[in-house]
Structure 1
Amino acid sequence: MSGSLLDADAVIGCPHGGRVAATTPPADGVRLAGAAVATAAHTYAVTGCPHTVDNVPTPCVSVRWTAHDTGVTVAGVPVLLDTSAAQCLTAALVPQGAPVVQAAQRKVTVR
């Protein structure tokens, strides 16, 4: 699997327009253009998701990433790529679709 490394400054949203952000501290020492490299150890929260089902609010509240074995790790934990599999989830852990990673030029590509 190839793709660009995700970092703490990556613009990520849920499929309904909510904003995704890391809620755990970034890794120390490993940075990409000044921003911490994202790993599978980080947790991600979604804010501002307007999704409803049958007029009942069912917003995305978190994202679960599945890091692929690229061989690239930070402190032994796989890094996240813009191509890594992920799922936005409700508070009841119901899958609601993949997050949207906005295209951005990155300085590091993993192949």
Structure 2
Amino acid sequence: MITEHALLPIIPGREEDFEAAFAQARHIIASMPGFLAMSLSRSIESPQTYLLLVEWESLEDHTVGFRGSPGYQQWRSLLHRFYEPFPVVEHFETVSAAPKAAS
């Protein structure tokens, strides 16, 4: 499994519009082969910054499958107009994890 990590800097004042567009776009990415899970979080300290985490079965499911798909073009048209500057996307492999301890 690969985790895609992106900090999304949204143009100030466009946060509500971004969230509405993301509500449409999330269905696109969720339908892609290799997609496992996704979360979008908003920063408390910097409310114009969002954290997107997407879990993929493989790196290629994101970099080749999703980015090479017609769905990605829809994703871009819905969301890329909100970013300033354009986000950096990185991919991570889990090296250590722990479940919550039982009480």
TM-score by length of 2: 0.30
Higher strand fraction (1 or 2): 1
TM-score by length of 1: 0.29
Higher relative contact order (CA 8 A, sep 6+): 2
